[in-house]
Amino acid sequence: MCPVVDFQPVMFYVYVLESKKEKELYIGFTTDLRRRIAEHNSGKNKSTKPYTP
C-alpha cells in the first residue's frame, strides 16, 4: 500500500541580477522576491555582497 502524500505546490521566482560595477550576472531563486532582493541590496548575501549598490 502506498502512503498518501499531501502535496502543496509552491511558487518560486527565478531572477537575474547584474552588477553595475563588474557587469557580472547572478542567477538565483526564491519564494519571496521582495525579501530576497532586499537581502542582496543590504549585503546579507555572501555571493553578491561585494557587488551591492
Rounded Cα distance between 53 and 40, Å, is 9
4 versus 36: which is more confidently predicted? 36
pLDDT value, residue 29: 95
Give the DSSP per-residue string, 9-39: ----EEEEEE-TTT--EEEEEES-HHHHHHH
- Summarised one tens digit per residue, pLDDT across range 10-49 is 999 999 998 888 888 999 999 999 999 999 889 888 888 8
What are the sequence ranges of the domains in the chain? Answer: 13-51
**Which residues, at least 6 apart from 51, have a Cβ–Cβ distance to it below 8 Å?**
17, 19, 21, 22, 24, 26
**The pTM of the whole model exceeds 0.85:** no
